[in-house]
Every structure is written in structure tokens, then in C-alpha cells.
Structure 1
Amino acid sequence: MTSRISLLPPVEGQAVQGLPDFAHHYAEVNGVRLHYVEGGSGEPVVLLHGWPFTWLEFRATMPLLAAAGYRVIAPDLRGFGFSDKPESGYRKTNVARDVAELVERLGSAPVNLVGQDIGMMVAFALAASRPELVRKAVLGEALIPGYGLEDYMDPARGGYGHFAHHMQVDLATRQTEGCEEEFLGPTWDMMSASKDKSWTRELLAAFQAPGAMRGGFQHYGTLLEDIEESRDLLGENKLAMPVLTVNGEYGIPAAQTAGSVARVAEPSRFEQDIVPGSGHTLGEDNPAWYAARLDRFFRS
């Protein structure tokens, strides 16, 4: 029997429980209201989460980056967490526009941009379409639509089976609403190498909110469009900024991510690394190593 958890939206400026130097905020951008958490001061770092997560994916890493001298900004992408969950607008180029307008509104450009999973796809779209807003880019635990992701989307040819399910947004929503814990619990167990899964209780509450499961699946529902649009963003060019790929030791094979990103990054400004002891959830499984590696890349 699924346990239901009530989670009230935080008010503007409310301190984040457990992260006293961080606060909840909201911004109206690109026709949606985005929730984001911000703390620290210094050079800005924007953290873009994946599925099925919210800004909480980076909760353990954020205070470490703030302590290292960064202004840390972690939004809930549209469809997730406390951000709006509209019925449309989930193409990665448009979600990237959400983030671009947030960055501009906060006056924080150019930023060090970190994207994981779905967030990696959004980060690529932002770095490719608005390079003036991105100082350095860290991409992890996914592949870029149009640059290799399509090769892993067909389970009949050895690809990842969740694409076939999640891309059928209506079906996936009907099958998972009301049994979020049964569906997401094993997913988080598989994704994280950490034995402590207590941090997923707040995540579960976020996905039990009305429209939350559908909002997450919407990011998969646009992938065929994303494949076509991503190829047009760069043309024959490469990303203008230095790029680092980071994968978990037990996450998506690093060669898949690096092989995809190598097609869009300048070879002389492209680095790769692996988070030891980590699964898919890089910011949770080994936050100290992860934060230190980001810091080293940003300062290099």
C-alpha cells in the first residue's frame, strides 16, 4: 500500500531545512513559474537535475560548493518539484530557455553549468543555443539527443527499456499515478549506490503531488523532436566552452556519455572523469569527491 506524504510548497525566501545558508525562491520565466534553491556567494554554478528527481538530487553537494566559494543555484525544471507543470513546452530547447531566462533574471551570467540525466540534455541545449551564458559545462549520466541518444532508445536493439515506457506519456502516467512509491522506490534503489535512501522520502512527496508523474514523463515525450532540434543547434560547429563529462562508477557507462559529448566538444577543451563508488546519482552518492572535481574543473 502506497504511503502518501504531504509536502507544502515553501514560501519565497524560506530557509531550506537542513541547509541553513540556502533559501527557496520562485521566478516567472518563459511563461512558467520556476522554483529554485539558492545559497552561497561567488562565481555562479547552476545545477540541473534529472529524472526522477528535483533540485534535491544535489542537496548533499550544494553546501560543499558554497563552502568552496560559489553561488549555487538549483532549479526544479518545469514539470518537477515545486515548479509549474504545464501540458506543453518540454522540448529541451524550450526548457533551456526557462533556465536561460532564470540566469538572466538573477544577473548571474556567465555560469558554470552542470547537467545530469535529463538535465544534461537541457544543459547541452542551453550551452549550444546561448553560449554567452555558459562559462563551463559539466555533462553527466546521459547522452545528447541527436548525438547518440537515439542509438539507445530502442529496447528491441539493446537500448534502455524505460524510453519505450516513459515516451508514452498518457500510458505511463495512468500506470504510475497512485502507486508512485512502488514504481519509484525500486528505481531509486537501482540508481543510487548509497545504502541510505532516507533522502528519497521528500522526493517521493514531490512525485505524489498532482501532475508530478506526468510532468516528469513529458520530458521523455518530446525526445523525438529533441533529436531533430539538437542537430540544428550547432550545425558543423562545436560547443564554445570547456566541457567535462562525469559519470558514476556504477552509473551509465562512461564511454556512452563521453562518446556522445565528444561529437560536440572541442577535443582540446574536453575532459572526462568517473565518480568513484557512485551510481547514477552523482551528487548524492559521493558528494565530497563530486564537489571537489567540479571545483577543480571550474578553477582550471
Structure 2
Amino acid sequence: MDTPETRITRHVDTSAWSPWLPATPGFDHLVVETPGLHTHVATVGEGEPVVLLHGFPQHWWQWRTVAPAIAARGYRAICPDLRGAGWTVADDPRVERETRLRDLLALFDVLDIERAHLVSHDMGAITAMQLTYDHPERVRSAVQLSVPPAFMKFSPKVARGFRHLPPFIWHRPGASLRGVFSEAYVAHPLSEATVEAHLAPMRRDDIDGAVRPLTRGMILPEAMRLAGGVYRRRRLTVPTLVVFGRQDHPWAEHLGRICRDPERYADRIEFAYVDDAAHFITDDAPTAVADLAIDWLARAA
């Protein structure tokens, strides 16, 4: 039920939004208001909820192909723009390690989601991992894209997998992020229109200004916990599928090395690989991602 501090505006007309919202037929757009946050949510389908958490520097539109495919199998696909991304507006620019986790829990409550399946990519996987470890009762199953499980063991072999972070840590307002969609991270060059759609919200000062807080306030503190083995001392109880593109270097070739003996740390976890795909796997191979997710949702349930 809505309260003075929480409200859902349904069937939002996005035609006047600035920057422009990528046109994607079939999606309904909501604005969910919780204390200090106005979250844009794109949804498609009806049924058991599947919440899809985008990566960086992306937003709900990352799931433009994956979400409708999941919805076609009888699920409600829910794609929020997380704090600091897309068309979501935050009253306070500060970001701490669990800020997005608290945002997600508040969103679940307003949307009356008791439990959901999770599909996450890149930076969105951080929030997904926090939810699966700290609130497993809210998660039915999880599909994690392009990010190793939290119980990974750091190795010099994967050090260059973090080469993208320094520019984010020292991001200057107005600096281009087009380099993240270079051939180092995609198997197939993205069209100019696709890159422009991913980066459109960066024209907003608050979204551009969120790059540093997200990196420094959330990613680095969580990375320190991962490096310190915090999650290797905990148990992952949510059934989880970890998916990588074969061309996602150096992670794909070393995943077995850094995730040895997964049964020691997880009740049920599987690994899958997608040929002809790299880090931005939902752009390189959206149909393969959707098929893997749909299969896992059915098997893990």
C-alpha cells in the first residue's frame, strides 16, 4: 500500500523525458517513490517476478531483448534503473557500500515482491550478491552475468580484469565513457545508436556525477571484502548460475582457477559459457543469455 513516503506512478508517459528514453515497445514504465529516491522501473509481462539489475554504464534498456523473452515464458520482468543510473533521481548524491541494496529492498516492499528471481550483470551483480547473502529469503534463484561468484579467490592471473576501474575512480565530469564499449569488452562492435542509447543518461549532471561515488563508495569497499575472503567464510544458499562470455578476458579462462571447489561455499551453483560473447554479454548474445536464464529459473525453482 502506498504511504506519503512511498508511491507508484504507473503507465508513465516518457515522451517528454530528457534525455530521451530509448523506444522499446512492450514495456510499461513506472516511477516508484521511496524516501529520497525516485526510481524509474520498466516492466514487461505478468507472473512470478524476475528482477533484472543492469551493469555500468547501462540502465534498464540493457534488458531490451532479454526481458521480453523471459516475460514470454510467463514471468513479470522488472528492470529498475539503479541509483546513479538511467532515469532514476536521488535526493542525495552520496553512495555507500549497501545503499543500492537498501534501495532494492525498499523497491521490493513497495512493489509487494516477497521473493523474486534475480538476473544481474556487472555492477548490478554487486547488489544482487549482497541480497542473496544477506536476505536469501527474498531470492528464489540468481543468474549472475560477467562477474565471478563472491567466494572467488583473487589471483594475479585476473588482475587485468580490473583495468577499467581507475578511469571510474578518477572520472571527471563530462569525460567520455565510450571506451568501455571498445573491442576489449565486446565481441561484436556496437552500433553508434546502441552506444548512444546506453550512454544517454550520462548527459544528466547527477548521473555523470554518480560515477565516482558509485566506484569509491560501493565498488572499492566491496572489492576489499572480496579480496579479504569475507564471502569465503559464508555460505551461498540461493541457487546461482554464473555466466561468462568465452571472450571475456581474463575471467573466462581463469574462472575454474579462482573458483575451485565451489561446493565448499555454495549449496547449488553452476557455471555456463557463451561462445562469441565478451563482457557486455547481453549486447553480444542476448538470445543465449535469455535461454540460459529461462532454463535456470525453471530448474532452480
TM superposition score normalised by structure 1: 0.80
Q: Distance in 1 between matches of 2:259 and 2:203?
A: 33
Please say which of residues 29-38 and 106-115 is displaced more in the overlay: 29-38
Please say which of residues 198-207 and 36-45 is displaced more in the overlay: 198-207
Instruction: Identify the match of residue 185 of structure 1 among 151, 168, 178.
Output: 178
| Alpha-carbon distance, 1:289 to partner | 1.4
Q: Distance in 1 between matches of 2:161 and 2:62?
A: 25
| Alpha-carbon distance, 1:297 to partner | 0.4
Q: 1:108 to 1:262 in 2, by over 3 A?
A: farther
Q: Distance in 1 between matches of 2:53 and 2:260?
A: 17
Find the counterpart in structure 2 of residue 299 from structure 1: 298
Q: Would the aligned equivalents of 2:148 and 2:242 in 1 still touch at CA under 8 Å?
A: no
| Alpha-carbon distance, 1:145 to partner | 6.6
Q: 1:58 to 1:217 in 2, by over 3 A?
A: farther
Instruction: Identify the match of residue 194 of structure 1 among 169, 176, 188.
Output: 188
Q: Would you say 1:280 and 2:279 are equivalent positions?
A: yes
Q: Distance in 2 between matches of 1:131 and 1:238?
A: 11
Q: Would the aligned equivalents of 1:30 and 1:97 in 2 still touch at CA under 8 Å?
A: no
Q: Distance in 2 between matches of 1:66 and 1:260?
A: 32
Q: Would you say 1:165 and 2:167 are equivalent positions?
A: yes
Q: Would you say 1:66 and 2:71 are equivalent positions?
A: yes
Q: 1:159 to 1:243 in 2, by over 3 A?
A: closer
Find the counterpart in structure 1 of residue 202 from structure 2: 207
Q: Would you say 1:249 and 2:254 are equivalent positions?
A: no
Find the counterpart in structure 2 of residue 224 from structure 1: 220
Q: Helix, strand or coil for the counterpart of 1:21?
A: coil
Alignment of 1:94-105 (within 5 A): 94-105=99-110
Find the counterpart in structure 1 of residue 37 from structure 2: 32
| Alpha-carbon distance, 1:149 to partner | 6.2
Once the two structures are superposed, residues 192-215 of structure 1 have per-residue CA deviations (whole angstroms, 9 ceiling, x without a partner) of 323442222222221121122221
State the AA in 1 paired with 2:252: A
Find the counterpart in structure 2 of residue 4 from structure 1: none
Q: Distance in 1 between matches of 2:133 and 2:178?
A: 34
Instruction: Identify the match of residue 80 of structure 2 among 60, 75, 84.
Output: 75
| Alpha-carbon distance, 1:22 to partner | 1.0
Q: 1:189 to 1:235 in 2, by over 3 A?
A: closer
Find the counterpart in structure 1 of residue 233 from structure 2: 236
Find the counterpart in structure 1 of residue 94 from structure 2: 88
Q: Distance in 1 between matches of 2:101 and 2:230?
A: 12
| Alpha-carbon distance, 1:43 to partner | 1.6
Once the two structures are superposed, residues 91-117 of structure 1 have per-residue CA deviations (whole angstroms, 9 ceiling, x without a partner) of 1x2211211221222122311101111
Considering only aligned residues, what root-mean-square deviation do their CA atoms show, in Å? 3.1
| Alpha-carbon distance, 1:68 to partner | 1.6
Q: Would the aligned equivalents of 1:50 and 1:116 in 2 still touch at CA under 8 Å?
A: yes
- Aligned pair count reads 278
Q: Would you say 1:139 and 2:135 are equivalent positions?
A: no
Q: Distance in 2 between matches of 1:269 and 1:52?
A: 30
Find the counterpart in structure 1 of residue 6 from structure 2: none
Q: Helix, strand or coil for the counterpart of 2:277?
A: coil
| Alpha-carbon distance, 1:163 to partner | 1.9
Q: Would the aligned equivalents of 2:151 and 2:232 in 1 still touch at CA under 8 Å?
A: no
| Alpha-carbon distance, 1:227 to partner | 3.9
Q: Distance in 2 between matches of 1:257 and 1:38?
A: 33
Taking every aligned residue pair, what percent have the same amino acid on both sides?
25
| Alpha-carbon distance, 1:162 to partner | 2.3
Q: 1:292 to 1:135 in 2, by over 3 A?
A: same
Structure 1 residues without counterparts, runs of 5 or longer: 1-9
Q: Distance in 2 between matches of 1:11 and 1:127?
A: 28
Find the counterpart in structure 2 of residue 5 from structure 1: none
| Alpha-carbon distance, 1:12 to partner | 5.1
State the AA in 2 paired with 1:214: G
Q: 1:233 to 1:105 in 2, by over 3 A?
A: farther
State the AA in 2 paired with 1:296: D
